[in-house]
Amino acid sequence: MSESIHVAAAVIRATDGRVLIARRPDDKPHGGLWEFPGGKVETGETVEAALARELDEELGIAVTVARPLIRVTHDYSGKRVLLDVWEVTGFSGAPRGAEGQSIVWVAPRALTDYEFPAANQPVVAAARLPDRYLVTPQDLTAQQLLQGVRAALDSGIRLIQLRAPDMFSADYRDMAVDAIGLCAGRAQLMLKGPFEWLGDFPAAGWHLTSTQLREHACRGRPFPVGRWLAASCHDAEELALATEMEVDFVTLSPIQPTRTHPEAVPLGWAGAAALLDNFNRPAYLLGGMTPADLPQAMQAGAQGIASIRGLWRV
Ligand SMILES: Nc1nc2c([nH]c(=O)n2[C@H]2C[C@H](O)[C@@H](COP(=O)(O)OP(=O)(O)OP(=O)(O)O)O2)c(=O)[nH]1
Ligand SMILES: [Mg+2]
């Protein structure tokens, strides 16, 4: 296959969280579909320079703050595109459709109402997901857990995994119901438990263990898109299974040595970056991460960090 076309694109986020999308002109490839503004990186140009140039040309704005969000490789019938997507949170000027295209500011959850080119599915997921994924600690009472979830919501956490491996099943299920109620309208809750419970909590997303992933990946997604599906991955093989199963996002671990899994060999930053280079979906780095690690996690190609102790406040 010929070399891929490198494209710089922007998820431009306003202070109220809404994202700017543009309608591709009818006479261009994928005409009429919505897109994240951007265009081809020119020879000798850095991605950041291309991003700044395209957003000036297409929207008349000057980028001041941007960070790497996700890189997606996609084959359009023999034409390979590398979408290099950056999140832009600072710019000067008022965006307008400088090439005559329609533009619209959309709430993240409403992005799924718009039709994008095929490569964009993981980009839309990345635009909807936050940069921190809280995983709840073990060995807590239900009351302590719910108190911690409340504190996390108040501190701005928007994605939470209810992990309670030592809890009896009935207690976990009760707590799941309470946690779903607490998170409603404020955060996305992800449950982790026996595969047979999948259908019992439709308001919650589902986070598969790597064992469940290995066992069930060949059958594809267990439920349609629209409900979040995630998986725990530790190596290239599991990331490939996550792609096969069409999960929405993954955790990749361990990055650093951790107390939870002292025996596991850490991937390190370089190991994580190499794995993510060949993976097309949002990934949270897990294992010894704190919010201070966010910039480095993003540079490594991750959506952000997942953490137990690094994000738990009580
Ligand atoms: N900008 C952008 N391009 C996308 C997205 N999704 C997607 O598949 N693409 C593809 C379509 C094109 O094949 C390629 C980028 O093309 P483009 O038409 O924006 O390139 P450009 O701004 O340099 O335009 P031109 O000078 O070639 O007219 O990437 C997206 O969300 N944003
Ligand atoms: Mg363009």
- Of all protein residues, the one whose alpha carbon is nearest to atom 21 of ligand 1 is 39
3 is in an annotated binding site: no
- pLDDT of 310 reads 92
- Of all protein residues, the one whose alpha carbon is nearest to atom 19 of ligand 1 is 39
How do the pLDDT tens digits run along the chain, 314 residues long? 457 999 999 999 999 999 999 999 999 899 999 999 999 999 999 999 999 999 999 999 999 999 999 999 999 998 999 999 999 999 999 999 999 999 999 999 999 999 999 999 999 999 999 999 999 998 899 999 999 999 999 999 999 999 988 777 888 999 999 999 999 999 999 999 998 999 999 999 999 999 999 999 999 999 999 999 999 999 999 999 999 999 999 999 999 988 878 888 999 999 999 999 999 999 999 999 999 999 999 999 999 999 999 999 86
79 lines ligand 1 (CB under 6 A): no
The residue among 238, 240, 245, 254 whose CA lies nearest residue 287 is 254
Residues 6+ apart with CB under 8 A from 185: none
The pick from 40, 73, 82 for probing ligand 1's pocket by mutation, whose C-beta has the most ligand atoms within 8 angstroms, reads: 40
179 lines ligand 1 (CB under 6 A): no
Domains of the chain, start order:
5-128 (3.90.79.10), 132-307 (3.20.20.70)
Q: How far is the CA of 244 from the centre of ligand 1 (A)?
A: 26
254 and 275 Cβ atoms separated by less than 8 Å: no
- pLDDT of 166 reads 76
122 lines ligand 1 (CB under 6 A): no
117 lines ligand 1 (CB under 6 A): yes
Q: How far is the CA of 144 from the centre of ligand 2 (A)?
A: 50
> To 5 degrees, how large is the angle CA 125–CA 89–CA 59?
95
- Of all protein residues, the one whose alpha carbon is nearest to atom 16 of ligand 1 is 39
81 lines ligand 1 (CB under 6 A): yes
- pLDDT of 264 reads 84
54 is in an annotated binding site: no
SS (H, E, C) the chain: CCCCEEEEEEEEECCCCCEEEEECCCCCCCCCCEECCEEECCCCCCHHHHHHHHHHHHHCCEEEEEEEEEEEEEEECCEEEEEEEEEEEEEECCCCCCCCCCEEEECHHHHHHCCCCHHHHHHHHHHHCCCEEEECCCCCCHHHHHHHHHHHHHCCCCEEEECCCCCCHHHHHHHHHHHHHHHCCCCEEEECCCHHHHHHCCCCEEEECHHHHHHHHHHCCCCCCCCCEEEEECCHHHHHHHHHCCCCEEEECCCCCCCCCCCCCCCHHHHHHHHHHCCCCCEEEECCCCHHHHHHHHHCCCCEEEECCCCCCC
**233 burial level (CB within 10 Å; 0-12, 13-18, 19+):** buried
In this structure, which ligand is nearest to the CA of 37?
1
The residue among 141, 157, 180 whose CA lies nearest residue 313 is 157
24 is in an annotated binding site: yes
Q: Which atom of ligand 1 is nearest to the CA of 24?
A: 18
Block residue for tokens 């994000």 = 311
Q: How far is the CA of 37 from the centre of ligand 1 (A)?
A: 8
- pLDDT of 210 reads 97
Question: What is the pTM assigned to this prediction?
Answer: 0.96
- pLDDT of 1 reads 47
Q: Which atom of ligand 1 is nearest to the CA of 38?
A: 1
Q: Which atom of ligand 1 is nearest to the CA of 81?
A: 29
Whether ipTM > 0.90 holds is: yes
40 lines ligand 1 (CB under 6 A): yes
121 lines ligand 1 (CB under 6 A): no
120 lines ligand 1 (CB under 6 A): yes
- Of all protein residues, the one whose alpha carbon is nearest to atom 17 of ligand 1 is 39
- Of all protein residues, the one whose alpha carbon is nearest to atom 24 of ligand 1 is 39
